[in-house]
Amino acid sequence: MKHTPDTEARVAAVDIQWDIDSEDALEMLDEMPCKEAADALGISIKKYSSMSREERHGLALSIWRHCPAKLYGVMDLPDSVEIPEELLKENDSEAMDENIADWLSDEYGFCHKGFTLSKE
């Protein structure tokens, strides 16, 4: 019997812990329009606009330390992603994890510190 995408279990990498240099993220934040940067940090544009660059950076680092998802948002990185089926054909789970890790880095341009595989 042929499986359709609706009946096959999908596998996703979830809780991806991207390895992002804070200086790169702060530079990205500085390049954003004020409204977009304020939204990314979850503060009002009025508050963001009244802060110095150093205050913005200090707040961003504090927020990102407690909520990495906001950091990933600034860098336009997902915290979960569906894994292409061809990467799941490896019989050796360690080799499969390594292939997925390489794919994530190649696909998104950043290394990561880990992820969890989850069937959807």
Tens digits of residue pLDDT in 67-113: 999 999 999 999 899 999 999 887 788 888 999 999 999 999 999 99
Task: Please give the order of strands across the beta sheet that includes 80-82.
Answer: 80-82, 11-18, 112-119
pLDDT at 54 over 70: yes
CA distances from 42 to 27, 39, 60, 73, 90 (A): 18, 5, 10, 11, 41
How much is the pLDDT for 70? 93
What integer pLDDT is reported at residue 8 of this predicted model?
Answer: 61
Q: Which residues lie below 8 Å from residue 110, measured CB to CB, with a gap of 6+?
A: 18, 19, 20, 75, 77
Residue linked to tokens 């812990």: 17
Q: What is the pTM assigned to this prediction? A: 0.77
pLDDT recorded at residue 34: 96
- Position 64 scores a pLDDT of 96
Task: Give, as one character, the DSSP assignment of residue 64.
Answer: H
Per the listing, tokens 């292939």 go with: 99
Q: pLDDT exceeding 70 applies to what percent of the chain?
A: 92
What pairs with residue 82 in β-bridges? 12
Q: Distance between CA atoms of 38 and 60, rounded to whole angstroms? A: 10
